[in-house]
Amino acid sequence: MKMTGAEAVIECLRQENVEVVFGYPGGAVLTLYDALYLAEYPHILPRHEQGAIHAADGYARVTGKVGVCIATSGPGATNLITGIATAYMDSSPVVAITGQVAVSLIGRDSFQEADIRGITTPITKHNYLVKDVKELPQVLKEAFYIARTGRPGPVLVDIAKDVFAAEIDFVYPQEVKLRGYNPIYEGDINSINEVYQELCQAKKPLFFVGGGLTLSNSSEIMRQIVSHTGIPVVSSLMGLGCIPDDNPHNYGMIGMHGTYAGNMATTETDLLLGIGVRFDDRVTGLLHEFAAKAKIVHFDIDPAEVNKNVHADIKVLGDLQWSLEKLLERVKERSNLEWQEQVAPWQQQLNNWKKEKPLTYNKNSEQVLPQMVIETVSEITRGEAIIVTDVGQHQMWTAQYYNFKHPRSFLTSGGLGTMGYGIPAALGAQVGAPDKKVICVCGDGGFMMNCQELMTIADLNLPVKIILLNNQVLGMVAQWQRKFYNHNYSHSSLKTKADFVKLSEAMGVPAVRLDKKEQLSEVLEKAITDEGPRLVEVCIPENEDVLPMVPAGARLDQMIMGG
């Protein structure tokens, strides 16, 4: 069928079952936007390209489908960069389509020209520059395929302006053949057997689960393994929700702000099984002392993750769907009781740690404390909401105090730690999950980094609830300054004359300020159950710390405790 390059892009989106695109028009994509207009293709217009990419990312994380965003050349494309890097670090499947100046103008420092392919090379799974319309269908087919398969990630397709107008006889390729890209779905069965042998021997085995479980949709299999064996499980930030927080074998998050029980267990375990994790420095603390008493098993689909940070004694490559299914088969060879007998003393040890030093804070405080806010939100939503955070103290409090029940219910910028992620990602998440309660928890710092998207949320009447924990400081920065920089609060104060409630209302999101402990439940409950978007600004003290805390570079059991 004859059509223009722009129409071909839309046809490709249709073939890939893309429900909606997040984009922002501009010179180099005008032809594409004309085609979107004529095709009445579902499109959401955030107020900043960074909003578009984070929204596409949030959409992808909630749905598991590929999120799509569009931006124009030059500044439009460069505004995507933070979002692309965010998606890359957290393996989120996103396809970013950018316009490029016309082929004849490339390389001449033309108006709104930027080498976005060169710029995004280190932060994309793959990227393309399309200069010939004939390549367009094949490139887009590959882009979607690469973004969602194997270890997912962002793919950028840069398309020269004249390609959108050029004519093509459109045929969408049925398959993708890439000699250099063959994700390992089924690994070596011997590695599973080896792991099983080790599991049977271990006295203190520990599962450490991460975002890979969510990405591979294999949380359910993991839950079965955990409930059959009773082997304790801890999680990375990205793994929260894979095993419900109220599961008795779950000891929560480990790492810099992990639980006491979780970090102690990691220090003492004799067999650590990392499942879809990448042993980030925020998890390991002092690397060579991490799980020093343990044999380490690493399950991952990406061979480059194994032995990158932590050296694995056994590697289990392959899709977790495959490897965990095989492991489940093996562990079922022994009865629940046999496993129980084997790990009971170890469970007891973890429970003691948990009882000894649970996550806690000053519950008698007269002021509203952030931990109370998160606990209240958790109670109101009974763990059924989709929680999106920004980055900083509130992110850690949310990770610690929200009672997660489901995978894909906690969206956060874990790897890159992108301030400004929360609001646009919540927007995208709500588009992807229209029937769910989507709640964005953010701080007063990150809020300002993409608060323009309140306008988008209001205009689309998306029922996103924003809980703005306002401590008038860059909380995490101030916490480090308090602990490690002699209380020199260098430029971390955000005391302002601005009024967040008015700002929110000016953009069309009804808002309320909350500073009395007695009103906490009532105000939050109302905001969360009301229809339409709401913002609740909660005034919290500026010097509350996130605890426990493992100082950067310290061993995991060297926690600063609190409460």
Partner 1 sequence: MKHTLAVLVENKPGVLTHISGLISRRAFNIESIAAGYTEEPDMTRITIVVEADDKYELEQVVNQLSKLIDVIKIIDLTGQDSVHRELALIKVKAIPENRTELIGIVEIFRAHIVDVNKETMIIELTGEEMKIDAMCELLKDYGIIEIVRTGKVAMCRGPKAAKEV
| Residues near partner 1 (CB under 8 A), total | 20
Closer CB to partner 1, residue 317 or residue 540?
Answer: 317
Q: Cβ 151 to partner 1, closest distance in Å?
A: 9
The rounded distance, in Å, linking the Cα atoms of 449 and 459 is 19
Catalytic residue among 65, 125, 141, 161: 161
Q: Cβ 117 to partner 1, closest distance in Å?
A: 6
Is 434 near partner 1 (CB under 8 A)?
no
Q: Which of 48, 62, 47, 53 is nearest to 22 (CA)?
A: 53
The rounded distance, in Å, linking the Cα atoms of 327 and 200 is 12
Closer CB to partner 1, residue 36 or residue 123?
Answer: 123
Closer CB to partner 1, residue 115 or residue 505?
Answer: 115
Closer CB to partner 1, residue 301 or residue 440?
Answer: 301
**Any idea what DSSP says for residue 531?**
S
Q: Which residues of 125-163 are buried (b: 16+ CB within 10 A; e: fewer)?
A: bbbbbbeebebbbbbbbbbbbbbbbbbbbbbbbbbbbbb
49 is catalytic: yes
Biggest alpha carbon distance in the chain?
73
400 is catalytic: no
Is 180 near partner 1 (CB under 8 A)?
yes
164 is catalytic: no
Is 114 near partner 1 (CB under 8 A)?
no
- Token reading at 187: 């690994």
Is 307 near partner 1 (CB under 8 A)?
yes
Q: Cβ 276 to partner 1, closest distance in Å?
A: 17
- 8 A C-beta contact, residue 278 and residue 210: yes
Closer CB to partner 1, residue 180 or residue 434?
Answer: 180
DSSP of 412-479, one letter per residue? ---SS--TT-HHHHHHHHHHH-TTS-EEEEEEHHHHHHSTTHHHHHHHTT---EEEEEE-SB-HHHHH
476 is catalytic: yes
Is 289 near partner 1 (CB under 8 A)?
no
| Cα separations in angstroms, 52 against 79, 83, 98, 448, 452 | 10, 9, 12, 16, 12
Q: Which residues contact 151 (CB under 8 A, 6 or more apart)?
A: 91, 125, 183, 212, 215, 300, 301, 302
112 is catalytic: yes
- H or E segment and range at residue 295: strand 295-300
Q: How far is CA 230 from the centre of its chain?
A: 28
The rounded distance, in Å, linking the Cα atoms of 331 and 19 is 41
The residue within the footprint of partner 1, chosen from 27, 64, 173, 303 (CB under 8 A), is 303
Q: Which of 125, 33, 44, 105 is nearest to 428 (CA)?
A: 44
Q: Which stretch binds partner 1 (CB under 8 A): 179-187, 197-205, 457-465, 478-486?
A: 179-187
Q: Which stretch binds partner 1 (CB under 8 A): 162-170, 304-312, 391-399, 447-455?
A: 304-312
The residue within the footprint of partner 1, chosen from 42, 118, 358, 553 (CB under 8 A), is 118
Catalytic residue among 476, 507, 549, 559: 476
Q: Which stretch binds partner 1 (CB under 8 A): 96-104, 122-130, 440-448, 504-512?
A: 122-130
Is 304 near partner 1 (CB under 8 A)?
yes
Closer CB to partner 1, residue 105 or residue 130?
Answer: 130
Is 179 near partner 1 (CB under 8 A)?
yes
- Amino acid letter, residue 351: N
Q: Which residues contact 349 (CB under 8 A, 6 or more apart)?
A: 204, 265, 268
Is 184 near partner 1 (CB under 8 A)?
no
| Cα separations in angstroms, 70 against 222, 366, 419 | 36, 48, 21
Q: Which stretch binds partner 1 (CB under 8 A): 116-124, 206-214, 427-435, 540-548?
A: 116-124
Q: Cβ 345 to partner 1, closest distance in Å?
A: 34
The residue within the footprint of partner 1, chosen from 38, 171, 178, 498 (CB under 8 A), is 178
The residue within the footprint of partner 1, chosen from 34, 166, 194, 308 (CB under 8 A), is 308
Strand-pair partners of 105? none
Q: Which stretch binds partner 1 (CB under 8 A): 75-83, 120-128, 382-390, 397-405?
A: 120-128
The residue within the footprint of partner 1, chosen from 188, 270, 289, 302 (CB under 8 A), is 302
- Amino acid letter, residue 379: E
Q: Which of 472, 446, 442 is nearest to 542 (CA)?
A: 472
- Mask for 133-172, x = binds partner 1 (CB under 8 A): -------------x--------------------------
Q: Cβ 135 to partner 1, closest distance in Å?
A: 11
Q: Which of 400, 351, 348, 336 is nearest to 374 (CA)?
A: 400
Is 104 near partner 1 (CB under 8 A)?
no
Is 181 near partner 1 (CB under 8 A)?
yes
Give the Cα-Cα-Cα angle 429, 432, 435 (nearest 5 degrees). Answer: 95
- Token reading at 34: 């004309």
Catalytic residue among 50, 100, 112, 393: 112
Closer CB to partner 1, residue 56 or residue 317?
Answer: 317
Matching residue, tokens 């087919």: 141
The rounded distance, in Å, linking the Cα atoms of 205 and 226 is 11
- Mask for 311-340, x = binds partner 1 (CB under 8 A): x-----------------------------
Positions touching partner 1 (CB under 8 A) are: 117-118, 121-122, 125-127, 129, 146, 178-181, 302-304, 306-308, 311
Which residues are catalytically annotated? Answer: 49, 111-112, 161, 476
